[in-house]
Chain A
Amino acid sequence: MLFLENNTSGDLSPEASPARIGLALTDKQMTTAPAHSKKIQIASTLLVGARGLSDKAIAWIFIAPTMVLLLAINIFPLIWAVRLSFTSYMANLPRPLSFVGIDNYVDILTDEDVWDHFQTTAHFVISTIVLQVLIGLGLALLINHKFKGHSFWTTVILLPMMLSPAVVGNFWTLLFQPQIGPFNYFISFFTGLAPSSFTMIGSVDLAPWTIVMVNTWMWTPYVMLICLAGLRSIPDYIYEAAEVDRASSWRQFWSITLPMVMPFLMLAVLFQAIQSFEMFDMVSLLTSGGPGSTTELVSITLKRSAFEKWDTGYASALAVILFVTAFGAANIYVKVLNKVKQS
């Protein structure tokens, strides 16, 4: 501030670095305003010091605040969670930490219930992704053609994605109410079944598919958007060349569209896999993991251990296992994705 206030030369060119401006002004100030000489001397000393810093050091000074925040908010809690995972710590009890070695990990990995919840999560993730990719790509192919009301329908399709998962969970819970929910009446209209004779979120057989259905409804537009970006990136001349060669639409799809959209599609699969793997809010509001533990995803198990049972040590171990699983799977996937891009 001091330097700019005294910058009477008005030189704001790139060459006029703060250090240079400051130094020039300091000289001028020394002759015209002796009352400020002490202040100027300090500034001058600092600038001389700063001039001695390397570019790398200055870069470090700029990124240091971000690094400190990152360490405090992300890395430290992660390391702390790893430490807690080897203890029997309970956050709601005022007692000291006691180390239990790998007991928490053994408990988790030998617990049949936890494996059941992993299976439930796998079912949810895989089913959701398959449906999202099929429907999302289909919608993108449709939307890619210009037709009347094209923009309106694109907006309509994108709406679910813009809603909060909490809102989605709550209103689908109402839609699925057997007595008053419109969904059962809709099914009843086509099948003749009495609306109150079945329940989507209370049935052991239907509940796992219900959460898949709602998640697909919400996130398919996202996959569609990414696919649409892929479709729009394919140059028209490739299709024109294919048409000159009399390639059928089917052949064009398999030989041009799909290979060229594939990197985008794989990226969408990665994003959606991570999103579904960590899904908590919507499923928690829809079914709370029920009936029984039929739809209990590992994220719900983690929440129950950490914030209902307050078994912090156990929950930390489970969190570490989930982190390693997601991180490992994502790494492998990214390598495959890179290979696809290169080919």
Chain B
Amino acid sequence: MKKMIAGATALAASAFLAAVATPSMAEAKSLTLCWAAWDPANALVELNKDFTKETGIEMKHEFVPWTSYADHFINLLNSHSSECDLIIGDSQWIGGAAENKWYVKLNDFFDKNHISMDTFLPATVVGYAEWPKNTPNYWGLPAMADAVGWTYRKDWFAKPELRAEFKSKYNRELEPPKTWDELLQVSKFFTGKEIDGKKVYGSYIYTERGSEGITMGVTNAMYNYGFDYMDSKKPYHMEGIVNSAGAAKGLDVYKELFNCCQPKGLTNAYMSEGLDAFKSGEVAMQMNWYAFFPGLAKDPNVGGDKIGFFKNPAGPAGQFTQLGGQGLSVVSASKDIDDALLYVKWFAQPAVQQKWTDLGGASASKAVLESDAYKKSASYAPSFVESMGMVKDFWAEPLYVPLLLDMQNRVHDYVVANKGTSKQALDALVKDWIKVFKQEGKDPS
């Protein structure tokens, strides 16, 4: 009976406390930060505990899987939802976000708080903050620097019997490839070999059809063979640029790599499938975003001494790589814009940027990335810093989604489904893109 009375008293007390506490909790300040669900997001949750400690503002997080990240958040922004106060949005969104006023323009705020864009890597400022591109109109703060890079099985490359076989076959040492020709050669060499009792493939490349995968992959070959988005002297003029002979050759090279050396069944595969293929010892080399490399470097099976990293190989037209990453923006529909700006100010501090990188994020701050300490901090760091200096990005127009889906469609049809020729695929892409730009009211002639 005593127990029952004690239980009832405790229950009544907790109900009373809950009733009393609810109004005061509702008054507590909080901000919601929206991003994709992946490894760096966990690091950000850890980092944001410092912000809460310093300001008393609680940080809530809404992380959505990559496959629905763009759809989900673009719909929220477009409907002027106040669900997110802060958003780490993809680089391609910046045009639409600026023109549709989804983001708060940050120029005055930066001036007032002495936040200089000169302290960030130039490519990240153009990619994650500026619209129109290459003009000092800022809609975000570079938050997560990223680019496409490559991992390789260092232990396989070091096997004496494989090195000897490679040298006798190609008359050079078996080393991480520096050009796309070498990449093809090394991939073909490894494909079909039996290593550690398992048949392996040469390389893993992106082939995903639904969102952005194959475009984020194929551009790494196409840029380096001469592909560009438009005539630099004539904005939006694409004929002969997008479908140039060099661009078609780059597309052919990517297809050749897919045909010869991609593990069977990976015809609609993006980041996670690449990580799985590499971690399970199925491929010798893997294309993927640098954001995953801290995790891979620590992987108990393939990390440590077994893994090596190299930047995207060069081609006849130069050496570029696909820009990834995102900027931090304040959502204009937020009900707590002042607090959100306070967060941006806090996040831009050099010490916070350093801690962000230490926790597993990737600061775009020059002070952090270009320091000797960073370059020595991890095996992937030197190639990451170099990669961030050779990035190119996809269109960031307000209508980037149809532009991206058109490229996904044309490239996937050619590379994976063997439809037509590379020239036909790119000619069709130019037609598709001209139609989209006309819809946007721009003159692509």
Spell out A's residues near B (CB within 8 Å).
88, 90, 92-94, 177-179, 196-199, 201-202, 204, 287-294, 304, 307-311
Q: Which residue of B lies closest to A107 (CB)?
A: B435
> Cβ of B402 < 8 Å from any Cβ of A?
yes
Min distance, Cβ B267 to any Cβ of chain A, angstroms: 3
Spell out B's residues near A (CB within 8 Å).
71, 74-75, 78, 100, 199, 209-210, 263-268, 282, 398-399, 401-402, 405, 409, 412-414, 416-419, 439
Min distance, Cβ A200 to any Cβ of chain B, angstroms: 9
Sample (27) of A-B pairs whose CB atoms are under 8 Å apart: A88-B439, A92-B74, A92-B401, A93-B100, A94-B100, A179-B264, A196-B263, A196-B265, A198-B264, A199-B264, A199-B265, A202-B267, A204-B418, A287-B268, A289-B209, A290-B417, A291-B209, A291-B412, A291-B416, A292-B209, A292-B412, A292-B418, A307-B71, A308-B71, A308-B405, A310-B402, A311-B402
List 11 other contacts, CB 8 Å, given A196-B263, A204-B418: A92-B78, A198-B264, A199-B267, A201-B267, A202-B266, A288-B268, A292-B412, A292-B419, A309-B405, A310-B401, A311-B402
In whole angstroms, what is the CA distance A177 to B269 when docked? 12
Contact A291 B417 (CB under 8 A): yes
In whole angstroms, what is the CA distance A94 to B409 when docked? 26
Min distance, Cβ B200 to any Cβ of chain A, angstroms: 11
B439 / chain A contacts, CB cutoff of 8 Å: 88, 90
A197 / chain B contacts, CB cutoff of 8 Å: 264
Contact A179 B209 (CB under 8 A): no
In whole angstroms, what is the CA distance A204 to B412 when docked? 12
Contact of A293 among B282, B399, B413 (CB under 8 A): B413
Contact B401 A290 (CB under 8 A): no
Smallest CB-CB A-B distances: 8 pairs:
A292-B417, A202-B267, A292-B413, A178-B265, A291-B416, A199-B265, A309-B402, A178-B264
Min distance, Cβ A117 to any Cβ of chain B, angstroms: 11
Contact of B416 among A177, A179, A292, A304 (CB under 8 A): A292
Interface of B is mostly: loop
Give the A-B pair count, Cβ closer than 8 A. Answer: 81
Min distance, Cβ A302 to any Cβ of chain B, angstroms: 14
B263 / chain A contacts, CB cutoff of 8 Å: 179, 196
In whole angstroms, what is the CA distance A83 to B262 when docked? 47
Contact B209 A309 (CB under 8 A): no
Contact A202 B268 (CB under 8 A): yes
Central interface residue in B75, B267, B282, by most chain A CB within 10 Å: B267
Q: Which residue of A lies closest to B209 (CB)?
A: A290
Interface of A is mostly: loop
B268 / chain A contacts, CB cutoff of 8 Å: 202, 287-288, 290-291
Contact B265 A204 (CB under 8 A): no
Min distance, Cβ A140 to any Cβ of chain B, angstroms: 36
In whole angstroms, what is the CA distance A309 to B209 when docked? 14
In whole angstroms, what is the CA distance A310 to B398 when docked? 12
Contact A202 B74 (CB under 8 A): no
Contact B75 A92 (CB under 8 A): yes
In whole angstroms, what is the CA distance A291 to B409 when docked? 10
Min distance, Cβ A100 to any Cβ of chain B, angstroms: 10
Contact A93 B398 (CB under 8 A): yes
In whole angstroms, what is the CA distance A292 to B417 when docked? 5
Contact B412 A290 (CB under 8 A): yes
In whole angstroms, what is the CA distance A288 to B67 when docked? 13
In whole angstroms, what is the CA distance A296 to B284 when docked? 33
Min distance, Cβ B70 to any Cβ of chain A, angstroms: 10
Contact B264 A291 (CB under 8 A): no
In whole angstroms, what is the CA distance A304 to B402 when docked? 10
In whole angstroms, what is the CA distance A78 to B394 when docked? 37
In whole angstroms, what is the CA distance A92 to B80 when docked? 11
A309 / chain B contacts, CB cutoff of 8 Å: 401-402, 405
B399 / chain A contacts, CB cutoff of 8 Å: 93
A90 / chain B contacts, CB cutoff of 8 Å: 439
Contact of B417 among A92, A179, A196, A294 (CB under 8 A): A294
Q: Which residue of A lies closest to B262 (CB)?
A: A202
Q: Which residue of A lies closest to B414 (CB)?
A: A292
A307 / chain B contacts, CB cutoff of 8 Å: 71
In whole angstroms, what is the CA distance A196 to B399 when docked? 40
Contact B199 A196 (CB under 8 A): yes
Contact A291 B267 (CB under 8 A): yes
Min distance, Cβ A185 to any Cβ of chain B, angstroms: 13
In whole angstroms, what is the CA distance A307 to B405 when docked? 12
Q: Which residue of B lies closest to A180 (CB)?
A: B265
Contact B401 A308 (CB under 8 A): yes
In whole angstroms, what is the CA distance A220 to B98 when docked? 52
Q: Which residue of A lies closest to B406 (CB)?
A: A309
B209 / chain A contacts, CB cutoff of 8 Å: 288-292
In whole angstroms, what is the CA distance A90 to B439 when docked? 10
B266 / chain A contacts, CB cutoff of 8 Å: 202
Central interface residue in B209, B401, B405, B417, by most chain A CB within 10 Å: B417
Min distance, Cβ B316 to any Cβ of chain A, angstroms: 27
Contact A290 B416 (CB under 8 A): yes
A201 / chain B contacts, CB cutoff of 8 Å: 265, 267
Q: Which residue of B lies closest to A94 (CB)?
A: B100
In whole angstroms, what is the CA distance A263 to B78 when docked? 51
In whole angstroms, what is the CA distance A96 to B268 when docked? 37
In whole angstroms, what is the CA distance A287 to B416 when docked? 13
